[in-house]
Amino acid sequence: MALNAPLLGLGRPALEQWVQQRGQAAFRGRQLHDWLYSKGVRDLDQVSVLPKQFRQQLLAEPPADAFDWIGRSRELQRSVALDGTTKLLLATHDGLSIETVGIPNPNRLTVCVSSQVGCAMACRFCATGKGGFQRSLALHEIVDQVLSVREVMQQRPSHVVFMGMGEPLLNIDAVLASIDCLCSDLGMAQRQITISTVGVPKTLPKLAALAQERLGRTQFTLAVSLHAPDQQLREQLIPTAHAYPLEILLEDCKQYVLTTGRRLSFEYILLGGLNDHPAQALALADLVSGFQSHVNLIAYNPIEEEEFQRPSPAAVEAFRSNLEGRGIAVSVRASRGLDADAACGQLRRRFATSTSA
């Protein structure tokens, strides 16, 4: 098996094949699997169960493209909020940086992972979109984020949400491969994983079939970011929305629910004075009624140099109440990490500014 990427992300059968092709017994692959995923090893030379001569042979012949054999990132910066929310800024092998966040709750730890370096969707309220798009992340770079949070917080992650930097559906191959790895190699369940998207034309309709093909079933949660109850406002907030009219997006969402049998989640960031009016709540209720779905309201987390405002608690509660009054399943996401640059892209922007000053 030729390898032009790190070992992280490979499953047990692939690791067994890999060591056998290098003259080792298959059980060495199982040992390597344990050290990669259970122990979270960062350096091949630390895998003491492998013969020293074999390790030296591998270290003398590193894989292509400047990777090391394991494929772990390097921590650049850490920000910890009073509530324990921990944001990590991680360096990739090619000198770029990505964010991941650990969000602790009683009896659970959610990891918010990035799928790309930067983002091409350019949502106006998002710090990541301000920096443009650089590249998609590889399988090992996504899995590494989960291991990094586990290592720092000394707790096994219970949930993973693809709500960090990037648009997951524009990197769907690596995202689905990472879900397979998280489930097969780290023991998570698909139902504990959420993919969030603003909607990518011609990709959402194919997602269920693609997931069925790659994962054998579709049990993860799909969260679609609406952020507006009408097309005009949505295009103002999400410039790429002009290519995916709400009418078509909602029809694709309904088809996804029918195909998978899974309830769909709608994300709605409340921006003070802009999309948090009672009439907009009623319009949103009309938009999402009629099929199995849930609305998750998120109070805007302010970023620097942006004109948007965080809504008042009263406005959030009124919006929630109006949706509930129309029979819509709705929840308000608890604000976490406001003192840890936890909004997507904030820590990365702050680090870039400080190092260039």
Q: Indicate which CATH number applies to the domain containing 16.
A: 1.10.150.530
Write down the pLDDT at residue 350: 53
Is 213 a known active-site residue? no
- The CA distance from 101 to 90, in Å, is 11
Q: Does the annotation place 167 within a ligand binding site?
A: yes
Q: Are residues 40 and 157 in the same domain?
A: no
Q: Are residues 150 and 162 in the same domain?
A: yes
Write down the pLDDT at residue 357: 44
* Catalytic residue selected from 16, 99, 141, 267: 99
Query: For residue 82, which phi and psi values (nearest 5 degrees)?
Result: -60, -30
Q: Does the annotation place 253 within a ligand binding site?
A: no
- The CA distance from 244 to 218, in Å, is 24
Q: Does the annotation place 227 within a ligand binding site?
A: yes
Write down the pLDDT at residue 66: 54
Write down the pLDDT at residue 104: 96
Write down the pLDDT at residue 65: 60
Q: Are residues 82 and 57 in the same domain?
A: no
- The CA distance from 305 to 125, in Å, is 10
Write down the pLDDT at residue 356: 47
C-beta of residue 138 within 8 angstroms of C-beta of residue 113: no
Residues of the chain with pLDDT under 50: 351, 353-357
Q: Does the annotation place 321 within a ligand binding site?
A: no
pTM of the model: 0.93
C-beta of residue 225 within 8 angstroms of C-beta of residue 198: yes
Query: For residue 354, which phi and psi values (nearest 5 degrees)?
Result: -70, -35
Domain end position, chosen among 72, 92, 125? 72
* Catalytic residue selected from 112, 181, 183, 344: 344
Domain end position, chosen among 16, 41, 72? 72
- The CA distance from 162 to 146, in Å, is 11
Is 344 a known active-site residue? yes
Q: What is the CATH number of the domain that holds 87?
A: 3.20.20.70
Question: b/e map of 41-52 (b: 16 or more CB within 10 Å)?
Answer: bbebeebeebee
